Amino acid sequence: MRLCPPVSLCLAAAAALLPAPAHAEAGPSCSGPEAGGFPLTTRLHGGPDSYRAGGGYGIWYLDLTNTTRRTCTEIHPVVVLVDAERALKPTQPRLEFYADGQPHPVRFEPTDDDELVGAFTDDDVDDHASDHPDAEPDGLPPFPGFTVGPGRTLTVKLRLALTSDTVPNAVTANAAVVQRHGDDGDWIGQSNDYRFAVETDPHPDPDPEPDPAPAVPDPAASESAPAAAENPTAPPTLTPTPTPSATETGRFSLAEEAEELAMTGLSSPAALIAGTVCLLAAGAAVLLARRRR
C-alpha cells in the first residue's frame, strides 16, 4: 500500500478496507513525482446541520475535482466519522452513496482511535439487494470506483440516517480519497470537515384535556321564545284591551246602584229604607221624564 504522507492510522485502516477484486490489474496513477499536493480536490457540502436519531435521511454531496491532465479511475472515497462523545457505534450511521443512479451502502469499521471508517466499495452488494427489493434481480453490479476526467468535477450524492438508539452527539465527517491499483492504492485527496449534531425527540407532551362539550340548547326554551326574537322585523304583538261594558259609561242601573250601596256597608234598616226611598224617587223621576218626551 503506497499512501502519500502524512498518513494517520484511520486512513491506513481505510485503505485496508479496499480489497482488490479478482484478476484486477493496476491502472494509471493520478499521482506522480511532478504532482504537487493531492491530484483530486475533494469537498463535502450541502448537508443538514443536525440529524434526528431514528429520523429520515439527510442529503449531502461530495465533489471530486481532477486537477491533473490525466484521467483518474478506480476512485474510492473513504468517509471518516469522529464523534465528541466517542459513543457512535458502527451500526448506527446508515450512509449510502449513489453511483449510476443506484444507492450503495457504506459499511463502517471502528479504529483504535474511536473513529468510524467507511469505504465506498461493493462489499455489501448482497445485503443491499435484500434491503432494496426494487434493485436488479442479480443485485447491484460491482462498484469499480469513480472515474474523473482531466480538469473535470464529479459530484457524488450521499445520504445519511442514524438509528433510533444513537445518543445526542456532535459528529465530524471527513472524506479521504483512495485510488486503487490492483492490490495496492494511493491516497490522492482529502476533503474539508462536515460537522453536524445528533438530536433525539423530546419527551412527548401528555395528552391535553379534552375540550368541554358545547352547551346543547333546551328545545323547550327555544320553543317558548317569543316570535319577535326569531323574526326581529315582525311587528310587535299588541295585547287587546278589554272593552268597557255599557255600565262603565258613568250611569248605573237600579240593580247596580243597589249592589253598590250594599257594598258600602249600609246594612241597618234605616239605611235600607232611606236607600229604597231614593231609588223609588229616582225611578219616578225617570218615568216622568219619559212621559214628557
Mean per-residue pLDDT, 76-87: 96
Backbone torsions φ then ψ of 274, nearest 5 degrees: -65, -40
CB-facing half-sphere around the CA of 78: CA atoms within 13 A = 27
Residue 135 — very low, low, confident or very high, per pLDDT cuts 50/70/90? Answer: very low
Q: Per DSSP, what are the bridge partners of residue 199? A: 52
Give the separation between CA 220 and CA 33, rounded to whole angstroms.
102
Q: What percentage of the chain carries pLDDT values higher than 70?
A: 51
> Which of 25-39, 91-105, 261-275 has the highest average model confidence (pLDDT)?
91-105
Q: At residue 131, does pLDDT exceed 80? A: no
pLDDT digits (tens, 9 = 90+) for 202-222: 654 444 455 555 555 555 544
Q: What is the CA radius of gyration of the chain?
A: 53
Kindly tell me the sign of the dihedral angle through the C-alpha atoms of 53, 56, 59, 62: positive
Q: Is 92 exposed, middle or buried (0-12, 13-18, 19+ CB in 10 A)?
A: buried
pLDDT digits (tens, 9 = 90+) for 165-174: 999 999 999 9
- Pure H helices in 49-121: none
Report residue 250 as a C-alpha cell: 258613568
Q: Is 106 exposed, middle or buried (0-12, 13-18, 19+ CB in 10 A)?
A: buried
Instruction: Identify the weakest region by mean pLDDT among 20-29, 34-43, 231-240.
Output: 231-240
Q: At residue 14, does pLDDT exceed 80? A: no
Q: What is the pLDDT of residue 183?
A: 72
pTM of the model: 0.61
pLDDT digits (tens, 9 = 90+) for 48-75: 999 999 999 999 999 999 999 999 999 9
Give the DSSP letter of residue 248. Answer: G
Residue 9 — very low, low, confident or very high, per pLDDT cuts 50/70/90? Answer: very low
Q: Is 272 exposed, middle or buried (0-12, 13-18, 19+ CB in 10 A)?
A: middle
Q: What is the pLDDT of residue 36?
A: 62
